[in-house]
Amino acid sequence: MTQGIPDSLAELWRHGGRLDEAMRLFPDSPRPWLDLSTGINPRAWSPPDLPQPDARALPTMAALRGLEAAAADWFGTSPERVAAVPGSDLLIRLLPQLLPRAPLLAVVPGYASHLEAAVGAVSLADVAKSLRQGDNLLFANPSNPEGHLLGRAELLDIVGQGGWLVLDEAFADATPGSSLAPHLHGEEPVILLRSFGKFFGLAGLRLGFAIAPPAVIQRLRALLGDWPVSAHAIAWGTAAYRDRDWITQTQAFLGRQAAALDALLAQHGLAGDGACPLFRLVRHQDARAIFRRLARAGILARPFEHQPDWLRFGLPADDDALSRLRQALAHG
């Protein structure tokens, strides 16, 4: 370690949001830190009349089904095709128990948890071929970390070619029109994974959803038991999905803020890539040096172990956050 700068960033490679590790590795950086390492909405849903459920009582089945119905209505599908789960990351790890015994392969590059749940990897170019061979495939749309978006027609063309297609739509709420949920109605071999926390900015609530044929949903509910999510997750999730004014306003805000981030990065010779407004991936030969420069300024971006020229920027919450990032990039 030289001048307070760690020689290895291994602690920060696995996931974004590891602010405690960043503070440990860069103890002399100014505080409070600005965390730009995740794809989580920096302006969380927080209405003045936030529901306050009674945590002393077990959640009722009626309340749970009400949450799933509210989510299904927003997703554009029917409630019998939706199951609430305690975070989409857990759902990823349950996939081997839900799918047929064919191998589950993760598309690379991709989300670290996908690779941990899978037994192998495949490139995006070989997705259709692998499905025809009977493999089950897992990948994100928009992709993580690149933010690339496959069109609905392209995805529907590969549905039903053999194995099961598992699409992680964690960022679909921030990317209107990207979800396959409204276009699947029968027994198509497709499972969609949805995240509540990323778009609504409440990642710590640990709430996600599976969208799948009813038989798969029943197997999942049997695995999770009668109380898969907390009373707060049920109450807040139900109210949030019904808050269409906030959803519409937030989608517009995210688009404007992403454009502001793109312009800021371009001013410093950094081209942000991706269709998801919650983050931008930059490819630059000095990505590691830029990461360290930002960390010394108390700003956490997202580095990658096997792509040393990659650096991902989450969305700054406001003009003050944009200004702080601008100053840190300018004083290199």
209 DSSP β-pair partners: 84, 194
For a pLDDT cut of 70, what percent of the chain falls above it?
Answer: 96
Contact 159, 166 (CB under 8 A): no
pLDDT above 80 (res 14): no
Both tokens assigned to 55: 């945590």
Q: Is the dihedral of CA 321, 326, 328, 329 positive or negative?
A: positive
Predicted TM-score of the model (pTM): 0.93
280-283 — which CB contacts under 8 Å span 24+ positions? Answer: 280/147, 280/312, 280/313, 281/145, 281/146, 281/147, 281/310, 281/311, 281/312, 281/313, 282/310, 282/311, 282/312, 282/313, 283/309, 283/310
The pair phi, psi for residue 255, each rounded to 5°, is -65, -45
**pLDDT level of residue 1 (50, 70, 90 thresholds):** very low
In CATH terms, are 10-43+246-330 and 61-242 the same topology?
A: no
Give residue 160's region: left, alpha or beta (phi > 0; psi -120 to 50).
left
Q: How do residues 229-265 score in pLDDT, each as one tens digit?
A: 999 999 999 999 999 999 999 999 999 999 999 999 9
10-43+246-330 falls under which CATH superfamily?
Answer: Aspartate Aminotransferase, domain 1 (3.90.1150.10)
Separation CA 171–CA 147 (nearest Å): 9
**pLDDT level of residue 113 (50, 70, 90 thresholds):** confident
Contact 298, 312 (CB under 8 A): no
* CATH number assigned to the domain covering 61-242: 3.40.640.10
| pLDDT recorded at residue 4 | 45
Mean pLDDT in residue range 129-145: 90
Q: How do residues 155-209 score in pLDDT, each as one tens digit?
A: 998 888 889 999 999 999 999 999 999 999 989 999 999 999 999 999 999 999 9
pLDDT above 70 (res 332): no
**Domain residue ranges in the chain:** 10-43+246-330, 61-242
Contact 40, 198 (CB under 8 A): yes
| pLDDT recorded at residue 102 | 81
The pair phi, psi for residue 219, each rounded to 5°, is -65, -40
Angle separating helix axes 287-296 and 319-330, nearest 10 degrees: 120
Q: Write down the mean pLDDT value for the chain.
A: 92
Separation CA 1–CA 71 (nearest Å): 48
